[in-house]
Structure 1
Amino acid sequence: MKYFKYVSFVAIASFLFASCSSDDDNINPQEPLPTGDYVDGFFIVNEGPFGGSGSLSFVKNDFSEVTQNVFSVENPNADIGSFVQSVFFDEERMFIISNGSNLINVVNRFTLEFIEVIDAGFEVPRYGVVLDNKAYVTNLAGFDSTIDDFIVVVNLETYEVESNIAVNNIADKIEAYNGKLVVQNSAFSDGNSVSLINPATAAIEQVVQVGDGLNSMVLANNQLFTLSGNQLSKVDLGSFNVTETITIPEEAEGVNNLRIDQNQVYYTLGNSVYSNSVNELDFTEEQMFSYETNSESGVFYGFAVKDNQIYISDAGDFASNGNIHVYSETGEILLETEVGLGPNGFYFN
């Protein structure tokens, strides 16, 4: 999770000198519609405090109901773990990564009924994806190295760790495409490449350079889009080569949070949101809107776009509960509500 990695790095560095979405597409439209209290809505991952547990919040899609601590509500005898980083899904399950506790809680994605906890083999797990009934989870490993990161392979029939895949680079965001794994080799804007890994052989097949300060990547329209501090790159997923590079103008350097929704590209700068067509990218466009915040470091701690609605989480001071804001594409506020401490991401059921 972001805050844990950042603060841990600062703490470790200080010590040394003194002496670190949308997943609803996994539902099969031919299967009967799922039932449960958490079908029609989205989850917010809240990292939680040092020395304590994180949490999940849930919001109905029509914003009629906001429920806090839903994991604990449904599983009062289970511990979600500290520093909840992210979640990922398959058709029926949700996998909740807590990297302060090096574990994953597995629950039913629609009822949150507890299924299993996987608590061995991880070392600062970050993100995961399911492919052929196996989970592939990135791990940042040691804070003093960028070449020791690895992917844990979990058998989802037994919930046992089968093996590790060495990445030989930073391993952060991960996606599955055409039976392969696409791994972002950058965390906290430290890194400049993306790897294509064959899970069947555990081989790194290709590595493509996409610009220093890589902060986000998105798979869309059979292409990989990556955003760095000063450039956007398009990568053909067939050849895994860069097909187009767009230089960010000086006045827009530092753009972040690349997202794509309905052929529109969205990104952020400062406390503002920008958008233009995926086919006519222009980083000189005027902002869509700005949102008001007093936070110095929690601005856009989470960001998502779905069905032309823009979802923003603000972590505030990281000492008290954060907030989420949902806007229309015209900048009209649709929802503003308090959630848990350190809200860092949205996941749509």
Structure 2
Amino acid sequence: MKFNKMFLVALTSMSVFLSCSDNDDNAPDDSKVYTNGAFILNEGGSGQGSVSFISNDLGSFMQDVYGTVNPGDLFGKYVQSIFFNGDNAYIIAGGSNKITVVNRVTFKLVAKIETGLVAPRYGVVKDGKAYVTNANTYSYANPTTGNTDDYVAVINLSTNTVESTIPLNATANRIVLENGKLYITEPYNNTNVLVVNPTTNTVEAPIAVGSDADTMEVHNGILYVLRSPYGGPSEIVKVKLSDSTLSNVVFPAALNDAKNLDIYNNKIYYTVDTSVYAMDITASAASTTAILTYSSTSVYGKMYGFSVNNDNIYIADGGDFTANSNAYIYSLTGTLKKTLTVGVGPNGFYFNN
């Protein structure tokens, strides 16, 4: 569940799974592979999450990859995110305190990590170990409860076990790895990006970027952080990681509550409500001209998943979190190329290229 309502093994001898329709759930077939495309993560509502797959050429689609390949097995509740390492993909189910490990090409079950995790969120990999943020006892109803007990679980990927934890004394959400350091956003009214040294498993001096930081990305040594404080202007904070100096681009009021920062081809893409915008990475002002606007009746799930890749804009609409919802794929100029019926609460795209 999101706080705001909260990559390839090449097999030249095998062809990408092909389907004649947008919703073709066939029986397991060892000849099918899921490469050169995007996994669409479906969070699920009160039930189980799922993963869909769309090929880069948009010609092949599978609505429920895991259920098809591993019939009868389940991810768990509130499937949050995916990270990759070598041959494997790791699917985090925050509501079930579990990470399911699958082969990233066949999506066959490899292992499950079910101890040492409490509300896991996002993960990255360094030197054979995964570093996964855990929200621990965080309460949506009362955000002041448990807001200092979050931690990073350190997972030995050779044994798929949590071997240690790094207490953060803060609230943790998204995580990126750059130049041997872990950078972690704090949600809501917390004002820092946390910095963790995985060599020593210690927390270093945080970077004060302002409250409500969420999505972030590193590009050419600069950490770009999008923050959207309630009732105030959104902004992109640029952190030069070599010396932690800051600069920012403050958005006009028309772009309040901006979300979903993604960088592609030296442009920063971001969303507001159901619209997508882009600005040059060196621009000093944000564009207020939308590339596209899509239609949504969702109360909490508008633009619930977003990515820009392969010269396409990928959008997932969370819907009502009880029934299957839709994902949309647009050109970079805003032309709709594909509409997909995916699972319940689609919240992200992960590219297996």
TM value normalised by structure 1: 0.88
The answer on 1:288 being equivalent to 2:283 is: no
Aligned pair in 2 of structure 1 residues 263, 33: CA closer, same or farther (>3 Å)? farther
Identical counterparts, % of pairs: 38
Q: CA deviation at 1:195?
A: 1.4
Q: CA deviation at 1:271?
A: 1.2
Q: CA deviation at 1:254?
A: 1.4
The answer on 1:333 being equivalent to 2:336 is: yes
**Is the Cα–Cα contact under 8 Å of residues 276 and 285 in structure 1 kept in the other structure?**
no
The answer on 1:99 being equivalent to 2:90 is: no
Distance across 1 between alignment mates of 2:166 and 2:13: 34
Residue in 2 aligned with 1:113?
A: 108
Paired residue type of 1:310: I
Q: CA deviation at 1:190?
A: 4.3
Q: CA deviation at 1:77?
A: 4.2
Distance across 2 between alignment mates of 1:98 and 1:190: 25
**Is the Cα–Cα contact under 8 Å of residues 125 and 138 in structure 1 kept in the other structure?**
yes
- Going by fraction, where is helix more abundant, 1 or 2? 1
Distance across 2 between alignment mates of 1:222 and 1:199: 19
Q: CA deviation at 1:103?
A: 0.5
SS at match of 1:316: coil
Residue in 2 aligned with 1:241?
A: 245
Residue in 1 aligned with 2:21?
A: none
Residues 179-230 of structure 1: per-residue CA shift (max 9 Å, x gap): 22111122xx443221121112111122111122212211111110011122
Aligned pair in 2 of structure 1 residues 278, 34: CA closer, same or farther (>3 Å)? farther
Q: CA deviation at 1:34?
A: 8.6
SS at match of 1:323: strand
Distance across 1 between alignment mates of 2:348 and 2:13: 23
The answer on 1:216 being equivalent to 2:212 is: no
Residue in 2 aligned with 1:44?
A: 40
Residue in 1 aligned with 2:184?
A: 183
Paired residue type of 1:273: V
Residues 218-256 of structure 1: per-residue CA shift (max 9 Å, x gap): 1111110011122211101122332x1222222222111
The answer on 1:171 being equivalent to 2:172 is: yes
SS at match of 1:238: coil
SS at match of 2:190: strand
Q: CA deviation at 1:127?
A: 0.4
TM value normalised by structure 2: 0.87
Any runs of at least 4 consecutive aligned residues in structure 1 with deviations exceeding 4 A, and if so which? Answer: 31-36
**Is the Cα–Cα contact under 8 Å of residues 124 and 140 in structure 1 kept in the other structure?**
yes
Residue in 2 aligned with 1:130?
A: 125
Distance across 2 between alignment mates of 1:255 and 1:224: 17
SS at match of 1:71: helix
**Is the Cα–Cα contact under 8 Å of residues 138 and 174 in structure 1 kept in the other structure?**
yes
Q: CA deviation at 1:298?
A: 1.3
Residue in 2 aligned with 1:2?
A: 2
Distance across 1 between alignment mates of 2:42 and 2:13: 25
Distance across 2 between alignment mates of 1:56 and 1:228: 28
Residue in 2 aligned with 1:257?
A: 260
Q: CA deviation at 1:281?
A: 4.0
Residues 247-296 of structure 1: per-residue CA shift (max 9 Å, x gap): 22222221111110010000011211110100114224311121112222
**Is the Cα–Cα contact under 8 Å of residues 208 and 241 in structure 1 kept in the other structure?**
no
1:58 to 50, 53, 56: 53
Q: CA-atom RMSD, angstroms? A: 1.8
Distance across 2 between alignment mates of 1:79 and 1:295: 26
SS at match of 1:191: coil
Gaps in structure 1 of 5+ consecutive residues:
7-19
**Is the Cα–Cα contact under 8 Å of residues 186 and 214 in structure 2 kept in the other structure?**
no
Distance across 2 between alignment mates of 1:32 and 1:339: 26
Q: CA deviation at 1:324?
A: 0.3
Distance across 2 between alignment mates of 1:89 and 1:341: 23
SS at match of 1:147: coil
Distance across 1 between alignment mates of 2:320 and 2:225: 29
**Is the Cα–Cα contact under 8 Å of residues 39 and 51 in structure 2 kept in the other structure?**
yes
Distance across 2 between alignment mates of 1:310 and 1:283: 18
**Is the Cα–Cα contact under 8 Å of residues 94 and 106 in structure 1 kept in the other structure?**
yes
Q: CA deviation at 1:33?
A: 5.4
Residue in 2 aligned with 1:228?
A: 227
Residues 91-144 of structure 1: per-residue CA shift (max 9 Å, x gap): 211001011110001111111121110000110000001110001110001122
Paired residue type of 2:209: V
Count of matched residue positions in the alignment of Structure 1 and Structure 2: 324
Distance across 1 between alignment mates of 2:12 and 2:155: 27
**Is the Cα–Cα contact under 8 Å of residues 266 and 275 in structure 1 kept in the other structure?**
yes
Paired residue type of 1:280: A
SS at match of 2:302: coil
Residue in 1 aligned with 2:159?
A: 158
Paired residue type of 2:298: S
Distance across 1 between alignment mates of 2:205 and 2:11: 39
Distance across 2 between alignment mates of 1:72 and 1:129: 25
Aligned pair in 2 of structure 1 residues 77, 271: CA closer, same or farther (>3 Å)? closer
